[in-house]
Structure formats: C-alpha cells, structure tokens
C-alpha cells in the first residue's frame, strides 16, 4: 500500500509568527509531499512496498544502490517527526522526568539549549539537529542531508530541520535565529517526554 502525506498535528498557520503558513505551504505542501511521491515511485512493485517506513530506512541504510530510497524514506520520516516536535505555544522549559534527565545529562536546560543550538547551527550545508537516546544516555547530535538517527541504532527524541527550505522564507540566512525561536516558542516538550518514556 502506498505511503500518504501524513496530516499535520496542527493548522498550517498555527505556529505563526514564529513559523509562517507560507513556509508551511512550501515545506509541507511541496517538499514533504515530494518525498512521499518519490518514495512511492521508487518502491513500487518491490518487496520494500510491504514494509513500514522505519523498516525501509533500516533495510536500505547501508546499500549504495538504494541511496534514493533511503533519502526519500528518511526525509518522509524526519519531516513527520519534525512536525510533531513543534506545537503552538511551545518552547520554554520542560518539567518532570524529562527536565531531570536533561539536567543530569547537560547540567541544566540552558546548557542543553546552548549545545543543541550550536550543534544544529553548526551543521554545514543541509541536515538536522537532534536530541537522541544512545543506550541510556541523552545526547545532542546532527545529521547531514537525509540521514537520521534511526539508521544508527539511536532513538530520536526531538529534531529541528536545518535545511534552508525549512526556514529561509521566514529567517533568510539567520539559521541561529530560527533555532532560537524553535527553542523559545515551538518545541513540543510533551512529545519529547513521550518519546523518552516509550524508550524506557
């Protein structure tokens, strides 16, 4: 069965003024949608068409002949995860067990934010900034292009998209300003906490 473009978890204008409906019309309506369309074309009439998105990513991650499949599958997954990493009225400081884990891993939430911003902003070219669970440890990392922690046995907890198409209409070349707005106003800490609890 063909993959479909997943519905957004909020209205396309719900993140304004920090993330515009105009950006969403291109980022979700064109870029994300194109990855879904391309993936379906690439896996049609192959055994991959019977797999979940996660299974496809893991199956083709190290296969040079399947780079196109990996790139499109990973970008479908990464973007869907990114939409859920944000919410209207988000950002600020998490609470509960997540806050305690961030304090333990990074010193405090401000040190986490500083490291997350530096790592995501410092990604050369296109890619993603992540908070992941590596074994039992929380870590900040970035990946290039379509790469995803799923392909490396890590558990994604939070992501920010730092491809230029993710922020250029709203922030132009000011990637650090976009990441700061993401941390201050957009992060869905409940989603992060759910991912952490599910991972155990």
Q: How far is CA 18 from CA 78, 90, 157, 181, in A?
A: 20, 11, 22, 6
Q: Taking Cα atoms as reference points, which of 162, 170, 192 lies closest to residue 92?
A: 192
pLDDT on residue 126:
98
In the predicted model, what is the mean pLDDT of the chain?
97
The secondary structure of residue 187, as a DSSP letter, is B
> pLDDT band at residue 87, thresholds of 50, 70 and 90?
very high
Residue 1 pLDDT > 90: no
Residue 74 pLDDT > 80: yes
The per-residue pLDDT for range 48-67, each reduced to its tens digit, is 999 999 999 999 999 999 99
Q: How far is CA 162 from CA 44, 83, 122, 142, 175, in A?
A: 30, 13, 10, 10, 7
* Domain range list for the chain: 21-84, 96-199
Q: How far is CA 174 from CA 25, 26, 128, 168, in A?
A: 20, 19, 16, 8
| Structural tokens at position 33 | 């949608």
Is residue 54 helix, strand or coil? helix
The per-residue pLDDT for range 6-55, each reduced to its tens digit, is 999 999 999 999 999 999 999 999 999 999 999 999 999 999 999 999 99
pLDDT on residue 122:
98
Phi, psi of 93 (to 5 degrees): -115, 135
Sign of CA dihedral 73, 76, 80, 82: positive
Q: How far is CA 130 from CA 57, 65, 120, 142, in A?
A: 17, 27, 8, 6
The span from the CA of 71 to the CA of 21, in Å, is 26
The per-residue pLDDT for range 177-196, each reduced to its tens digit, is 999 999 999 999 999 999 99
pLDDT on residue 200:
72
Domain 21-84 coded CATH 1.20.272.10: no
Domain 96-199 coded CATH 2.60.130.10: no
pTM of the model: 0.97
């Amino acid at each position: 069965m063909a993959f479909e473009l997943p519905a957004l978890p909020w209205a396309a204008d719900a993140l304004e003024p920090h993330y515009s409906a105009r950006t969403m019309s291109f980022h979700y309506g064109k870029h994300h949608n194109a990855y879904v369309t391309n993936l379906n074309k690439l896996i049609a009439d192959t055994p991959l068409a019977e797999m979940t998105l996660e299974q496809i990513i893991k199956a083709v991650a190290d296969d040079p002949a399947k780079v196109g499949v990996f790139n499109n599958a990973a970008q479908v997954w990464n973007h869907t995860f990114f939409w859920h990493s944000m919410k209207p009225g988000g950002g600020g400081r998490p609470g509960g067990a997540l806050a305690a884990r961030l304090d333990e891993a990074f010193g405090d939430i401000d040190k986490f934010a500083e490291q997350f911003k530096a790592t995501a902003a410092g990604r050369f070219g296109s890619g993603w900034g992540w908070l992941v669970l590596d074994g039992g440890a929380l870590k900040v990392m970035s990946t290039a292009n379509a790469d995803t922690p799923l392909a490396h046995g890590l558990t994604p907890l939070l992501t920010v998209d730092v491809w230029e198409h993710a922020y250029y209409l709203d922030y132009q070349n000011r990637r650090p300003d976009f990441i700061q707005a993401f941390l201050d106003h957009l992060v869905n800490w409940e989603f992060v906490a759910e991912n952490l609890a599910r991972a155990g």
